Amino acid sequence: MTVTELPALNAILNSCATVLIIAGLTAIKLKKPKVHSAFMFAALGVSVAFLTSYLI
C-alpha cells in the first residue's frame, strides 16, 4: 500500500464506523442491547483502525 492509497482507506474506514454507529443506534432503539454492544465494539475497532491509518 502506498501513501496515495491512504485517503481512500481512511474514507472507507470512517464510512464503516458511521454505518456501524447508526446500526447500533437502531438496535438500542429496538431494545436489543446485546446487538447494540456488538455494533458499538465493531465501530470502536474500525475507529481504531481509522485512527491508526490516519496517523501513518
Angle between helices 33-55 and 6-29 (to 10 degrees): 160
Residue 52: the pLDDT is 93
**Are 16 and 4 contacting, i.e. CB atoms less than 8 angstroms apart?**
no
Residue 1: the pLDDT is 79
pLDDT digits (tens, 9 = 90+) for 14-42: 999 999 999 999 999 999 999 999 999 99
φ and ψ of 16, to 5 deg: -60, -40
| C-alpha to C-alpha distances, 26 to 6, 9, 38, 51, nearest whole angstrom | 30, 26, 12, 25
d(CA 56, CA 31): 39
Residue 56: the pLDDT is 80
pTM: 0.90
